[in-house]
Amino acid sequence: MAFQKNQIYTVEIEDIGAEGEGIGRIEGFSLFVKDALPGDKAKVRLTKVKKNYAYARLEELLEPSPDRVTPRCPFHRQCGGCQIQALSYEKQLAFKQTKVENNLVRIGGFAPEKIREIMEPVIGMEDPWRYRNKAQYPFGYSGEGELITGFYAGRTHSIIANTDCLLGARENQKILEIILKHMEQCHVSAYDEKKGRGLVRHVLIRKGFSSGELMVCIVINADGGKSGARAERWIPEQNRLVDRLALLHGMTSISVNFNSEKTNVIMGAETVTIWGRDKIRDKMHLFRTDGSEFVKTDKSVTYEISPRSFYQVNPVQAERLYSTALSYAALTGKETVWDLYCGIGTISLFLARDAGQVYGVEVVPEAIEDARENARKNNIANAKFFVGRAEEVLPAFYEEESGISEEAEAMRHPDVIVVDPPRKGCDEICLRTILRMRPERIVYVSCDSATLARDLRILCQGGYELKRGRVCDQFCHGVHVEVACCLQRVSS
Ligand code: SAH
């Protein structure tokens, strides 16, 4: 069959693609249909035809999927944020679990029975709304020239006016309204991407969910100049704006970030605090888990978060994900543990509460500074951090002459290695070094189950057995999936 643009077909949607689009098939030819969901029967119009697949648009929903729900957010089809909000939450979780299982079977080469046996029930949220502790709102103008803030429409840079995203904190709306009003009253311009003119580019808001502390960072189109010049007035009538924001309950830090580059990168290199502290605090508790229940313990870690640091956006689920990883590490207080790709030490400090000694590795130097400071502030003395690539730092320690010290020996043969790499997964050299170090257990935390499956295959061929795995829903209504796995050494 020759497929052509603008042709109309009737398809049944069977799956969800990487960007949340529905996937249907006609004679082995895959159609990627935006806004369609598994279980839908729909008339679709082809918009772009490739050799083995095509993109299509929903023309008419002939029979809606029984799993469809009315999306709470009126903007969900335009906004790129919540691709699967129209699918019931229960089915979202089932979809994520199946996606991980399929990847482990197809890419990882594991037997389907084995995967069914080792996978624990997915960890969903009781209330999958308002879970994000971070929001970045672009500022600009509507078609009518009205000053607005909101979200980029999916894959574009046109802004949809909306100050109350249902995934974010309630406080965001108040903060954005104060800023919009100030900009109108004092004639402060928003940035125009095309012309490279105008002042306010983005507003970043962070909230410490357990502390209630709020951080506002206004990203402006200007050069920083003198760092630390707190009294400098970067925004017209800046003090009036600061006074209004500072009155909000929980307000802890107000800063200006400078970004005069013509770039999609939101934040520039320099930030100046104009009111309050440079960082906010948040606390995470360790939970005990036996595979079903999560029981809060009295152990916790407090983190300091600056505007540019990486910090998990869903703190409620992050506690559960890290607690799962910690239970997989099965620590008794004596173990030597490596935490590779450690960021600001979030997982490392959890591990340190129950381990003998933890070594964190991370490529971003500022993150390592934060990790060390977080360890100090929590009186955690058994965590050390190294800046560098995991695939370089780990071999360097492994290949060091043995017998130098007891610590060096323990580092070469740790009890547990935890990895939490970015989407592209672990470098093969890193995996090969882990195999040579022969830890008793490996805990793999992953944000991409395809690369996870690829890496687990290598580890299992190298003498490890996949023991348990668990999906933890960090991005409710979105398509991304986070999963933790535990491997045990089999060869002696
Ligand atoms: N475990 C942390 C961070 C996970 S995100 C947390 O949960 O908060 C992945 C981290 O890996 C990022 O901080 C990124 O900067 C870092 N990273 C990316 N490539 C790396 C590499 N080759 N070696 C070490 N760290 C790397």
* For residue 475, pLDDT beyond 80: yes
CA nearest ligand 1 atom 12, residue = 343
Task: Give the pLDDT of residue 231.
Answer: 55
Residue 314 in tokens:
């869903």
Query: How does pLDDT run across 375-393, given as a tens digit for each residue?
Result: 999 999 999 999 999 999 9
pLDDT reported for residue 491: 72
Report the C-alpha dihedral over residues 90, 478, 7, 47, rounded to 10 degrees. 180
**270 sits in which H/E element:** strand 270-276
Mean pLDDT of the chain: 94
* pLDDT value, residue 33: 95
pLDDT tier for residue 156 given thresholds of 50, 70 and 90? confident
Model pLDDT, residue 400: 80
Place of tokens 């709306």: 173
Q: Which of 32, 92, 36 is nearest to 479 (CA)?
A: 92
Instruction: Report how far residue 4's alpha carbon sits from residue 241's, in angstroms, rounded to the nearest whole number.
Output: 55
Contacts 24+ apart (CB under 8 A), 84-89: 84/16, 84/20, 84/37, 84/477, 84/478, 84/479, 85/477, 86/35, 86/37, 87/16, 87/37, 87/38, 89/124, 89/128, 89/476, 89/477
Q: Is 236 exposed, middle or buried (0-12, 13-18, 19+ CB in 10 A)?
A: middle
- Reported as type and span, the H/E element at residue 429 is helix 428-437
* Dist. CA 367 → ligand 1 center (Å): 9
What local confidence, expressed as pLDDT, does residue 97 receive?
97
Please give the C-alpha separations between residue 175 and each of 136, 208, 251, 461, in angstroms, as whole numbers: 12, 15, 10, 53
Q: Which of 25-34, 232-241, 397-406 has the lowest mean pLDDT?
A: 397-406
Which residues make Cβ contacts (< 8 Å) with residue 51, sequence separation at least 6? none
% of the chain residues with pLDDT over 90: 86
Sorted by sequence, the CB contacts under 8 Å of residue 363 that are 6+ apart come out as: 387, 388, 389, 390
pLDDT of 266 reads 94
What distance in Å separates the CA atoms of residue 337 and residue 31, rounded to the nearest whole number?
46
Dump strand ranges (E) for 17-102: 22-26, 29-34, 41-49, 53-63
Q: Which of 133, 306, 310 to mutate to test the pocket of ligand 1 (most atoms within 8 A of CB)?
A: 310
C-alpha–C-alpha distance, residues 56 and 71, integer Å: 22
Q: Where are the beta strands (DSSP E) in 290-419?
A: 294-305, 336-340, 357-362, 383-387, 416-419
Half-sphere exposure of 58 (CA within 13 A, CB side): 19
Ligand 1: which residues within 6 Å by Cβ?
Answer: 310, 312, 341-343, 346-347, 361-364, 367, 389-391, 420-422
Cβ-contact 479, 20 below 8 angstroms = yes
- The reported pTM is 0.93
What pLDDT is recorded for position 492? Answer: 64
- CA atoms of 68 and 64, how far apart (whole Å): 7
Ligand 1 atom nearest 311 alpha carbon:
8
The 10s digit of each residue's pLDDT in 313-364 is 999 999 999 999 999 999 999 999 999 999 999 999 999 999 999 999 999 9
Tokens of 431: 């995996």
Indicate if the pLDDT at residue 1 is higher than 80.
no
Atom of ligand 1 nearest to the CA of 343: 13
Cα of 143 vs centre of ligand 1, distance in Å, is 40
State CA 407 to chain mean position distance: 34
> Which residue, by CA, sits nearest to atom 21 of ligand 1?
389
DSSP 222-262: S---STT-TT---STTHHHHHHHHHTSTTEEEEEEEE--SS
E strand spans, 317-356: 336-340
Q: Of how many residues is the chain composed? A: 492
Whether the per-residue pLDDT at 228 is higher than 80: the answer is: no
pLDDT band at 433 (very low <50, low <70, confident <90, very high): very high
Query: What tokens were used for 155?
Result: 């894959």
Among 324, 347, 361, 363, which is best to mutate for testing ligand 1, by the most ligand atoms less than 8 A from CB? 363
Burial of residue 29, with CB atoms counted within 10 A of its CB: 0-12 exposed, 13-18 middle, 19 or more buried: middle
pLDDT higher than 70, residue 403:
no
Mean pLDDT along residues 409-437 = 97
- Asked about 82 being catalytic, the answer comes back as no
Distance CA 386, CA 368 (A): 7
Considering the candidates 73, 79, 217, 447, report the single residue annotated as catalytic.
447
Residue 19's pLDDT is 85
Atom of ligand 1 nearest to the CA of 312: 8
Residue 55 has pLDDT above 80, yes or no: yes
Determine which of 140-144, 171-175, 229-233 has the lowest per-residue pLDDT on average. 229-233
Measured in angstroms, how far is the CA atom of residue 287 from the centroid of ligand 1?
Answer: 23
Q: Looking at 58-62, 75-79, 367-371, which range is the least confident one?
A: 75-79
What does the pLDDT read at residue 224? Answer: 76
Ligand 1: nearest atom to the Cα of 348: 1
Handedness of CA 290, 295, 297, 301 (dihedral sign): positive
Domains of the chain: 8-63 (2.40.50.140), 134-278 (2.40.50.1070), 282-489 (3.40.50.150)
Average pLDDT of span 456-468: 98
pLDDT in tens, 233-277: 899 999 999 999 999 999 999 999 999 999 989 999 899 999 999
The pLDDT, as a whole number, for residue 226 is: 57
Average pLDDT over residues 92-119: 97
Return the best residue to mutate from 282, 310, 339, 341 for the ligand 1 pocket (most ligand atoms within 8 A of CB): 341
